[in-house]
Amino acid sequence: MIMKGQKRKLPPEDDEEVSDRSSPFWESQRQFVFSVSLNKYQRGQELPAPSLRRSVLIANTLRQVSMEACRAPSVDMEVSQPQCSSSSALQESFLTAAAIHQSSVMFANSHSALSGCPLVSLNYLSNCATNRSPASCHSGASNSPPSVKDDDEDWGSMSTDPDFSLSAAISSILSALDSTIDVSPQAAPRTPLRSLENLSAPSEGGAAWAKQGGRGYGGSWEQQEEYGPRESSVEVMRSSYLSDLTVEDLFQDIDTSLLERDMGVLGLLGNGGGYPAGDDLLRT
């Protein structure tokens, strides 16, 4: 059954399809499909010739799996947080994936949109964070250096949006990563970060950006860990390198004067998914 030379992977005991949601295997299979899909998506993007059909099918599956998570049988208000925490795990993992991509693959233009994604996904992350736990999010925001003042304002305004839903945030993150597939020359968001790299503090600038947002998010996310049932999936998704850092640590080795200038030009996170204009940075 398994391809030769490969070891069996989770779930070990259940190969059968489970369409019955109440089945005990359904949740484990859902999580399995979720993590496998995520890996596949990332690896698919790293291929020299990524397949659009494959990426779309995997992204659709991811979307469906995360929708199913939020539509799980338990719909009490109390457990709405753990439901969302698994979705938040989704976002966290996307963020991680995006950050890893960014630091490891610098020159392939097919990843140009992907490297722009941390900015976009951070946008929705901040929305989500504020929606669920405004206090912790703002505390995260206030920890950041003064240079991200515009950031705070955007988060503040977003939190007042009553219709903002978690599932929309998930879709947006998925679609933001979907847009990496578009390799047409119009989508050239690679250039803003490239300018950051050319500065004295190269990749740290961009990566720290992602880490900072992730950290702030991670803070609020951790509080929900106490809700047991979702913990296992959450643990799987958690990235270790974020857990040891504080915001101050991240910014200690960054020349914040450079960050100030570039954050202003990038238009921060409030663009609602639009890619920042790279031309400005190129000219500076």
Least Cβ distance, residue 25 to other proteins (angstroms):
10
Stretch that binds other proteins, among 124-132, 142-150, 171-179, 248-256 (CB under 8 A): 171-179
Closest CA to 125 of 217, 212, 247, 235: 217
Q: What is the Cα–Cα distance from 206 to 259, expressed in whole angstroms?
A: 9
- What does the angle CA 186 – CA 280 – CA 252 come to, to the nearest 5 degrees? 110
- Give the shortest CB-13-to-other proteins separation in angstroms: 12
Choose the stretch contacting other proteins; rule: CB under 8 A; options: 91-99, 180-188, 218-226, 248-256: 180-188
Cβ atoms of 114 and 98 closer than 8 Å: yes
**80 interacts with other proteins by CB under 8 A:** no
Closer residue to other proteins, CB minimum distance, 108 or 277: 108
Distance of alpha carbon 38 from alpha carbon 158, whole angstroms? 28
**Exactly one of 170, 176, 266, 281 binds other proteins (CB under 8 A); which one?**
176
199 belongs to the binding site for other proteins (CB under 8 A):
no
| Minimum distance, C-beta of residue 141 to other proteins, in the bound complex (Å) | 26
- If one asks whether residue 13 binds other proteins (CB under 8 A), the answer comes out as no
The DSSP output letter for 49 is S
- Which is closer to other proteins, CB of 65 or CB of 266? 65
Query: What is the three-class DSSP state of 183?
Result: coil
d(CA 251, CA 144): 9
4 binds other proteins (CB under 8 A): yes
Which of 84, 120 has the CB closer to other proteins? Answer: 120
The least CB distance from residue 90 to other proteins, in Å, is 15
Please give the full DSSP string across 122-160, using - where no structure is assigned.
Answer: HHHHHHHHHHH-HHHHHHHHHHS-GGGHHHHHHHHHHHT
Q: Does the protein bind other proteins through residue 7 (CB under 8 A)?
A: no
If one asks whether residue 73 binds other proteins (CB under 8 A), the answer comes out as no
- Integer Cα distance of 235 and 225 in angstroms: 9
User: Does residue number 32 form part of the binding site for other proteins (CB under 8 A)?
Assistant: yes
Least separation in angstroms between CB 60 and other proteins: 6
How far the first Cα of the chain sits from its last, in Å, is: 57
Give which of 241, 210, 212 is closest to 114, Cα–Cα. 210
Helix (H) or strand (E) holding 231: helix 231-237
Number of residues engaging other proteins in binding (CB under 8 A): 48
Q: Which residues bind other proteins (CB under 8 A)?
A: 1-4, 6, 9, 11, 15-19, 29-30, 32-33, 36, 40, 48-49, 51-54, 56-57, 59-61, 64-65, 68, 107-110, 172, 175-176, 178-179, 181-185, 187, 273
